[in-house]
Amino acid sequence: MLNRAFTLFLFTLFSVPASAEKASTLTIYTHPSFAAEWGPGPAVKAAFEQSCDCQINYVVLDSGGDILQRLRLEGESTEADLVLGLDTGTMETTRQTGLLANHDTDLSALSLPIDWQDPVFVPYDWGYFAFVYDTEQLPEPPKSLEALISAPDDLKIIIQDPRTSTPGLGLLLWMRHVYGDQASEKWQQLKGKILTTTKSWSDGYFSLFMNGEAPMILSYSTSPAYHMAVDKTDRYQAAEFEEGHYLQVEVAALVKSSDQKELGQAFLDFMLSEDFQRHIPLKNVMYPATDLGDELPAVFDKLIQPSDALYFDPKTVTDNRRTWLNEWLDAMTR
Amino acid sequence: MSPVIQHQRRSLPAYPAPLSHSRWKLWPGLTIAAALIVLSLAGLGALVWEAELPGLSEFWSNRYLRTVVTFTIWQAFLSVVLSLLVAFPVARILARQPAFPGRAFLLRLMELSLVLPSIVLVSGIISVYGRQGWFTGLANEWLGTSWNLYGINGIVLAHVFFNAPLAARILLQAIESAPASQRRVAAQLGLGRWWYWRAVEWPAVKPVLPGLAALVFTLCFTSFAIVMTLGGGPAATTIEVAIYQSLRFEFDAGQAALLAMVQLVICGFFWWLAARHGLTASLLPDRRVASHRSKAGSSIWARLGDGTALAVFVLFLVTPLMAILLRGLPGMGSAFFPDGTFSVNPALLDATLRSLGIAIPAGLMSVIAALLILASGTSQSRPTITRLSDVAAYLPLMVPPLVLGTGLFLLFRPSLGNSSEGLALVTLINAMMALPFVLQMLRGPMGSLDSASRMQADQLGVLGWYRWRWLHWPRMRRPLALAMAYGTGLSLGDFGVIALFGSPGQPTLPVLLYQQLGSYRIDAAAATGLWLVLLLLMLFSLFNRLGSPLFNSGLAPKSSRTVPEPEHA
Amino acid sequence: MLEVQNLVFAYPGQETPWNFQFSAEPGHCIAIHGASGSGKSTLMNLLAGFLEPQSGDILWQGKSLRHAAPWQRPMTSVFQEHNLFEHLSVTANIGLGIHPGLKLAPEDTQAIERGLDSVGLSGFGQRLPSDLSGGQRQRVALLRAILRKQPLMLLDEPLTGLDREARDLLRQLLLQQKAQGALIVLASHDEEDRRILADSVCTL
């Protein structure tokens, strides 16, 4: 009753006529870096709508974490037919909600650093976490994670909070993968070099790193591609670490309660085609999930090529994240 | 002298005023207050419903959570003390130097600081006080100190930047409303600064102090974006931040709800303390005949000293804004002159219109709600209930928006379909969030009708609508305009509420700013930030213009002297 | 006829309460006389309904006013000072007495102008109270009371502190009002006021 009255009140405040919709609409929950006017979203939408009598409706949520949150809050009543923009850090938790359906996309075209055979999630891009540095401030960056950790404390770095940011969580897993149970001690050694821990990647990148506050920031190995291709500057580069780099894969999946499953499946197939993938490198600033051959922009050849792709099985991450987080908290506040 | 006044006597007033029954005064305000309480409890309750509340003993045995609570209190306490230490001298100087070039502009700047979106301001502060900042360079070279922004330094600095101007503004308003008789006597006695402070300024400031301190405390206590960027790491975390972290990936609703309750209890305690001393600014009569300058501010040396102190304050306010300007200018070109000719970037234009479409109704709603709550406070029939409604208006500051948002989402989700409803909800919640500030701006002026005027008005039957129209409105134009500017400005710069309920597919300006940041569009983002600051500045100027007596109409007196309304500019 | 019956009032902490009792006819002026603190203003405020008595009653034409709100009582008060709304013009101040929403008919505006002429304030209509001298302000306040046409006028030291000329003028106006049937309750410690205006004197 209260709900009713409340909605009614809102309706009378802002009564906006509902927009006319085509017969079949595919509702995709995604995040701004995909759906923004400069992201791959608009071009992908146009390309897909040409091949089907349908319409794509992006519901843009703040981040992959928010997509998971919204799904969890809405449950079976969700409007989403497909979710796009989850990653290896959030996909297992999303799987456990039981709200997603299996796909039957042919995954043989994938070209990822790891073997991928997931019944629910289809990757659409990937990248490595890496420390991006300012070559003008730091001509000689550390060559390994170990070198960074044992560097003197006047080398300052900016990281993100693993509780709120994807790269932040990535670094936590990276440290864990390299150092195992010694991760806590290593964090304590690293602590003196951390200038600040920001909520999200963009807070740190814009306000701090681009302001010259610290010469290194936790980011993606692909970040320099944007600076080189669009800003036309070689100033910002990623530091290659000997131990290898932690891998991030971004994925999409069908929603179980969707009444547009066929259309959704068609979209997942389309996702691994060149018409979709060619927009990924410069518009999403990540590696495409399939081999684009010559279509891969030249700047991507200049990026670091880590020797090892470090990767935890998503289930391991979900099972241990809380413990690892608490260890990290403990190390950082001691 | 000839008897010309002749007439028939009539027995009773024949013109009842509309809305004059006391229920019109009491109930609308109480209803709003009740709605605020219900909404807050519903949001919190839905979260508790969703998950088991962890036990309090478990909470206290968690070392990290204990650190969070003590750090939150400590930084808020420091911020309040420093903000007030800056605000007192500034307000006093501004009160005793009522006319100098640029005074009005300085007041606009002071108003602006509170509504600046924190991400924009933080970038400005970093440019000045960060490791590569102008100030840091000077400090290292000349003073030989090593200043480090990150950690409690930066948090408190940013809080002082946000709150000292607000506090100074409220204190200035209080000092300026000191009774004319006191000022006259003080002027005649030629009191020195200390005695002038004791005799005139302190008594005027004292009644607003508890409410002001509680306001600044709550603002710093619940600080979010500043702490997240300048805090340095998990050692410097506020409760508000911890709530965000526990809801983000883990969706630990129980811990979030418990933290929210701890916050509510601590802040609520301070408001309760403040309310015991009376939140009502004062009922001082404002029958000033003319302003009397104190002797203290008139000598050359005094003016020189005042000037220097103000210059330092202005520098403190302006340097981060300059940094924002310098960073934003390169991107302004492509935002406004994409092909060499003037045309606004459509995304920016859309976001601007959408922001204004949310902010202006939100500002209006908050002002109306504040007036109704204050009206119910002036009806003296039920003091306990009205005090409760008074404190309820500050609830939006204490209940973490994320908790409120998530809770309400859980409650209303099935019936919240499209994004226009989402935007309506954003407007409503923004109005709620602005309410405490608007209330603080209007409280003094609304209560300033002195007892003699109230008696006269009662007898003449100037009640209800008529009283509002003829006795309150003419004196409240300026405070109302200022309150409207605050309400609108806060909503315009809002990122928290819109991030929860809005749809990023239809960004407002702050959301657009974040999206540009998230996609390496640094120049565009800096330009959006600058544009937002300029828009806020224009908004404040516009509302100030609307509130100035030049726009007075109707029975405007043509007088050589100005209307003795409470001064705000 | 105004009848004040055993009106009892005490401020908190006051040991011996006041007890007022008197009656007066329309067309008369009853002067209340007493030292300061003797309860003159308290009586005025009780009559106007600004204070609530502990017991007793006020009757006007046989009807009780005990529970009537200030705006429901057939009277107008003029205090020693602070009678005018500082932010409103002289005309608006007077006009509020005629219509509480300032909805003035042309004849009301004319009446205000004529009234201002008759008290020597021609052309002052658009001024603010702060532009007027004390005597001028009291003339405006009294003019408002007169144009309100209420049968009862409660005057609390209305002429105190005014110059000779203003006093004479206002006394004339009050005598006129009395002649036209107004009942005036006048609190004054001025011997001359009482002698000229009052028909009876009540000492507290």
- For each of the domains in chain C, give its residue range(s) and CATH number, in order of start: 2-203 (3.40.50.300)
Shared domain for A34 and A176, answered yes or no, is no
Mean pLDDT in chain A? Answer: 86
Contact pairs from chain A to chain B, CB under 8 Å: 170
Q: Which DSSP string corresponds to B484-540?
A: HHHHHHHHHT--HHHHHHS-TTS--HHHHHHHHHTTT-HHHHHHHHHHHHHHHHHHH
Domain assignment present for residue A118? The answer is: yes
What string of DSSP letters covers B186-255?
Answer: HHHHT--HHHHIIIIIHHHHGGGHHHHHHHHHHHHHT--HHHHHHS-STTS--HHHHHHHHHHTS--HHH
CB-based burial label for B454 (10 Å; 0-12, 13-18, 19+): middle
CA of B353 vs chain A CAs: smallest distance (Å): 16
Q: What is the pLDDT of residues C96-109, one digit of tens each?
A: 888 888 888 898 88
> Do residues A188 and A261 both lie within one domain?
no
What's the pLDDT score for residue B23?
67
CA-nearest residue to A7 within chain B is: B415
Record: contact B557-C89, CB cut-off 8 A: yes
Mean pLDDT of A239-268: 92
The reported pLDDT for the residue numbered B159 is 93
B476 vs C contacts (CB less than 8 Å): none
| Distance of residue B55 Cα from the nearest chain A Cα, in angstroms | 19
Domain contains A256:
yes
**How far is the C-alpha of B436 from the C-alpha of B395, rounded, in Å?**
8
Copy the structure tokens of residue B38.
């219900």
Q: What is the CB-side half-sphere exposure of residue A144 using CA atoms within 13 A?
A: 9
Could you tell me which residues come within 8 angstroms of residue A198 by beta carbon, excluding any fewer than 6 positions away?
A158, A159, A160, A161, A165, A204, A207, A208, B228, B229
Q: For residues A206 and B123, what is the distance between their CA atoms, to the nearest angstrom?
A: 8
Residue B515: predicted pLDDT: 82
Q: Which of residues 502-521 of B touch A (CB under 8 A)?
A: 503-505, 507, 514-515, 517-521
Q: Given pLDDT bands bounded at 50, 70 and 90, which one contains residue A18?
A: very low
* Cα–Cα separations (whole angstroms), residue C20 to A178, B54, C39: 95, 67, 9
The answer on A93 and A31 residing in a single domain is yes
CB spacing of A198 vs B415 below 8 angstroms? no
Domain boundaries, chain B: 18-50+342-549, 74-237+293-329
* Tens-place pLDDT, residues B286-315: 433 334 445 555 678 878 888 899 999 999
What does the alpha-carbon distance between residue A303 and residue A326 come to, in Å, rounded to a whole number? 34
Q: Average of pLDDT values for C13-26?
A: 87
Whether residue B58 lies within 8 A of chain A, CB to CB, comes out as: no
Domain B74-237+293-329 is of which CATH architecture?
Orthogonal Bundle (1.10)
Do A and B touch, 3+ Cβ pairs within 8 Å? The answer is: yes
As a whole number, mean pLDDT of residues B160-172 equals 89
Residue B146 touches chain A, beta carbons under 8 Å: no
Residue range of the domain that includes A118: 22-126+248-302
Residue B93's contacts (CB-CB under 8 Å, 6 or more residues apart) are B297, B306, B309, B310
| pLDDT band for position A21 (cuts 50, 70, 90) | very low
Test B470 with C92 for CB contact under 8 angstroms.
yes
User: Measured between CB atoms, does C138 come within 8 Å of chain B?
Assistant: no
Contacts of A77 in chain B (CB under 8 A): 413-414
**CATH number for A326:** 3.40.190.10
What does the pLDDT average to over A23-27? 83
Which residue, among C49, C101, C87, C51, has the nearest Cα to B462 in the 3D structure?
C101
Nearest residue, CB atoms, B232 vs list A11, A32, A196: A196
Q: For chain B, what percent of residues have pLDDT higher than 90? A: 11
Residue A244 pLDDT? 93
A3 within a domain of the structure (yes/no): no
Using an 8 Å CB-CB cutoff, list chain B residues near C121: none
Query: Are residues A216 and A76 both part of a single domain?
Result: no
Is pLDDT above 90 for A76? no
Tokens of B437: 């500030």
H helical segments located in B51-102? 56-61, 63-96
Indicate the residue of C45, C87, C172 with minimum beta-carbon distance to B1: C172
Per the domain annotation, does A274 fall within a domain?
yes
Chain B: residue nearest C176 by CA? B3
How does the average pLDDT of chain B come out, rounded?
Answer: 78
Best residue of B2, B4, B9 to probe chain C, by most C CBs closer than 10 Å: B9
Q: What is the pLDDT of residues C163-196, one digit of tens each?
A: 888 888 888 888 988 898 889 999 888 888 888 8
In a domain, A15, yes or no: no
Place B558 in a pLDDT band, splitting at 50, 70 and 90.
very low
Judge whether residue A108 has pLDDT over 50: yes
Between A18-32, B101-115, B397-411, the lowest mean confidence (pLDDT) is in A18-32
Q: Are residues A208 and A314 in the same domain?
A: yes
Which backbone phi and psi does A197 adopt, to 5 degrees?
-115, 110
B449-454 contacts at long range (C-beta below 8 A, 24 or more positions apart): B450/B283, B450/B284, B450/B285, B450/B286, B450/B287, B450/C82, B451/B283, B451/B285, B452/B285, B452/C79, B452/C82, B452/C83, B453/C82, B453/C85
Reduced to 3 states (helix: H, G, I; strand: E, B; else coil), residue C146 is: helix
Same-domain status, A133 and A236: yes
Whether the per-residue pLDDT at B113 is higher than 50: the answer is yes
pLDDT at B240 over 60: yes
* Poorest-pLDDT segment among B86-95, B378-387, B420-429, C134-143: B378-387
- A113 falls within a domain: yes
The pLDDT confidence band at residue A264, using thresholds 50, 70 and 90, is very high
Q: Which residues of C touch B287 (CB under 8 A)?
A: 82, 86
Instruction: Give Cβ neighbours of residue A117 (< 8 Å, ≥ 6 apart).
Output: A107
What is the tally of structural domains in chain A? 2
The answer on A265 and A315 residing in a single domain is no
Q: Which CATH architecture has domain B18-50+342-549?
A: Orthogonal Bundle (1.10)
pLDDT of amino acid B415: 53
Domain co-membership, A327 together with A216:
yes
Whole-number Cα distances in Å, B223 to A79, B94, B159, C190: 34, 28, 8, 65
Is 90 exceeded by the pLDDT of residue A176? yes
Picking from B127, B229, B420, the nearest residue to A198 by CB comes out as B229
pLDDT reported for residue B298:
65
d(CA B381, CA B22): 9
Going along chain C, which residue ranges are E strands?
2-9, 18-24, 29-33, 55-60, 63-64, 75-78, 152-156, 183-187, 200-203
- pLDDT at site B556: 38
Res C14 pLDDT > 80: yes
The answer to whether position A155 is within a domain reads yes
Q: What does the pLDDT read at residue B29?
A: 78
The yes-or-no verdict on residue A11 having pLDDT over 70 is: no
Q: Quote the minimal CA–CA distance from A49 to chain B in Å.
A: 19
